[in-house]
Chain A
Amino acid sequence: MSIGGEKGSASTKTPADFLKSIRGRPVVVKLNSGVDYRGILACLDGYMNIAMEQTEEYVNGQLKNKYGDAFIRGNNVLYISTSKRTLAEGSS
């Protein structure tokens, strides 16, 4: 694929677009500490502050805790990932 070959609004998805598109969807949020949070994304903002529902906390791929509602402060977030594949049993 040539550099910039697909450049254009059709294929470009900025972080703002992404944030808009994932509200209400199941997501995986990984923190800088390496801990994963999987759940339904209730809402989020431009700081990557996140409110999640049905949250599961995974440390080293193992379920450690569950929270009905959880707020994650954006500065701790490494990435937010969509998960139509729920990661639940994937990691070892």
Chain B
Amino acid sequence: MATNPSQLLPSELIDRCIGSKIWVIMKGDKELVGTLRGFDVYVNMVLEDVTEYEITAEGRRITKLDQILLNGNNIAIVSDNHSFNVYMPLFREVTSLWTISQTN
């Protein structure tokens, strides 16, 4: 029963994403896209080549970051790059509305 191969732990699902580009949706109008390098039991994540999308009272802002340790506390949804490819074009359409905060 316990070894049913069709059973998959949530953490295994995330583990399969290591090395791939993922899409993280946070609580409160914030999303990040980046390459997953690792994570722990709290789903804190190490991400590389990150783009952060946030909507604040001051407007929309995009921030590019090299490598980050993301606190798992506010993570709502993690999605792989397949979903990302479907939905991200919608995002790009409106990027002209965004304030780009280039960091280099």
Chain A residues with CB under 8 Å of chain B are 1-7, 11-19, 22, 28, 32, 34, 48, 60-61, 75, 77-85, 87, 90-92
Q: Pick the contact of B38 from A17, A28, A90 — CB < 8 Å?
A: A17
Minimum CB–CB distance from B22 to chain A (whole Å) comes to 10
Whether the pair A6, B18 counts as a contact (CB closer than 8 A) is yes
Total A-B contacts with CB atoms under 8 angstroms apart: 101
For residue A82, which residues in chain B have a CB less than 8 angstroms away from its CB?
A: 66-68
- Considering the chains assembled together, what is the distance between the CA atoms of A4 and B17 in angstroms? 5
Q: Pick the contact of A85 from B16, B39, B73, B103 — CB < 8 Å?
A: B103
Per-residue A-contact encoding for B86-104, CB less than 8 Å = 1, 0 else: 0000000000000101111
- Considering the chains assembled together, what is the distance between the CA atoms of A11 and B67 in angstroms? 13
Minimum CB–CB distance from A35 to chain B (whole Å) comes to 11
- Considering the chains assembled together, what is the distance between the CA atoms of A2 and B73 in angstroms? 28
- Count of B interface residues, CB-CB < 8 Å: 36
Chain B residues with CB under 8 Å of chain A are 15-21, 37-40, 44-46, 50, 54, 56, 58, 61, 63, 65-71, 73-74, 80-81, 99, 101-104
Q: Pick the contact of A15 from B38, B56, B99 — CB < 8 Å?
A: B38
- Can you list 22 contacts pairing A with B, beta carbon distance less than 8 Å? A2-B20, A3-B17, A3-B80, A4-B18, A5-B20, A7-B15, A11-B18, A11-B37, A13-B46, A16-B40, A17-B38, A34-B54, A77-B71, A78-B70, A79-B68, A79-B70, A82-B66, A84-B66, A85-B66, A90-B104, A91-B101, A92-B101
- Considering the chains assembled together, what is the distance between the CA atoms of A6 and B74 in angstroms? 26
Q: Pick the contact of A12 from B38, B58, B81 — CB < 8 Å?
A: B38
Chain A CB count within 10 A is highest, among B20, B54, B56, B69, for B69
